[in-house]
Amino acid sequence: MLNSRPINNHSGKFFLFFSLLLAAIFLPASDLKGPYLGQTPPGSTPRLFGPGLISTEAGWEAAISFTPDLRELFFTSRASLEGTENRIMHMKMTETGWTKPQPASFARDIMENEAFVTPDNQKVVFNSKRAKPGGAKGEAWFSPRENGGWGEARYFTGPINDGWNMSITSTLDGTLYLTGSYGAGYGIYRSRPAGGEYARPEFLPKEINKSKYFGASHPFIAPDESYLIFDAGQSEGNSELFISYRTKDGGWTEAEALGHPINTEDYEGIASVSPDRKYLFFQRNNDIYWVDAGIIKDRKPKE
């Protein structure tokens, strides 16, 4: 069973962060085995994911992302509900079980968020407050796949970091969807690969960035670009999950709320879908939940 006690907090102090990082080498694997930490899969009612280990009573957790083989996961965590000590945590499946949550190998003791494993398993993209090259505005970084692990983080060059950004996700062909501000206002943008970099992000149309929502953000794009899930509010201070499907002409359907039992009177946001397309993950209030992803197919409009 998953431990019901909160894991050690991460205060942001230099010595604590690097002590955890070094100690990771000697941490025994947990007795959690199998996909998804060996937990019983959820049905159509959302359930807490990794209670006491990932989703803790005292902490704030969000933005879970798995490698395509489901043998590694990343999530964002901080020790208290308030504050900015967000850190990127990592777990890995070994022969004896899953390792305990620990700072990602490429992470630093600084505010970092929303690590996302690209569908080709070649990068982990994330946002970081670490020092940027002169004149740059964005906070988009990535760690490349190297020698079976993850290499030193690199800053995205080119127009993608010419504006403020966060919450980056990727299609299988490398197109990036993100929350940002690049002159067209706050909302969800798309950036295509171009010449070894990424083109200036384009603002998505009104079907997604429409005025009746308060702050469309935290996109998750399907690997084949067939649908987009994001969070937004229908009133100020409220947030719930929406979905829009790609149409045959390359446009988007009018975004619709996912509805009950996924959306409630609580906060719902920062969604992702597992690489095997079986489960939808999202943050509710301060924890990570998961639910059967069948709702995505069930809600798709018939053409």
Q: Which domains does the chain have, with CATH numbers?
A: 14-298 (2.115.10)
Q: Is the pLDDT score of 2 beyond 80?
A: no
Residues above pLDDT 90, as percent of the chain: 73
Q: Is the pLDDT score of 12 beyond 50?
A: no
> What's the pLDDT tens digit per position in 120-137?
999 999 999 999 888 788
> What's the pLDDT tens digit per position in 214-270?
789 999 999 999 999 999 987 666 799 999 999 999 999 999 999 999 999 999 999
State residue 215's pLDDT score: 83
Q: How confident is the model at residue 47 (pLDDT cuts 50, 70, 90)?
A: very high
> What's the predicted TM-score (pTM) here?
0.88
State residue 299's pLDDT score: 85
What is the pLDDT averaged over residues 147-174? 94
> What's the pLDDT tens digit per position in 184-206?
889 999 999 998 899 999 999 99
What is the pLDDT averaged over residues 40-55? 95
Highest mean pLDDT among 52-56, 96-100, 115-119, 192-196: 115-119
Task: Tally DSSP H helices, then E strands, for the chain.
Answer: 2, 24
State residue 6's pLDDT score: 34
Helix, strand, coil share (%) of the chain residues, nearest 5: 10, 40, 50
What is the pLDDT averaged over residues 54-82? 93
Q: How confident is the model at residue 213 (pLDDT cuts 50, 70, 90)?
A: confident
Cis preceding-peptide flag for 41 (omega within 30 of 0): no
- What are the distances in angstroms from CA 2 to CA 142, 200, 217? 31, 44, 31
State residue 27's pLDDT score: 38
Give Cβ neighbours of residue 241 (< 8 Å, ≥ 6 apart).
229, 230, 231, 257, 258, 262, 263, 268, 269, 271, 282
Q: How far apart are CA 256 and CA 242, in angstroms?
A: 5
Q: How far apart are CA 185 and CA 189, in angstroms?
A: 10
Give Cβ neighbours of residue 65 (< 8 Å, ≥ 6 apart).
73, 74, 75, 115, 116, 117, 124, 272
Which token pair is 105? 């190998």
Q: How far apart are CA 106 and CA 117, in angstroms?
A: 13
State residue 159's pLDDT score: 92
Mean pLDDT lowest among 16-30, 129-143, 144-158, 243-257 = 16-30
Q: How confident is the model at residue 14 (pLDDT cuts 50, 70, 90)?
A: very low
Q: Which of 169, 219, 160 is nearest to 191 (CA)?
A: 160
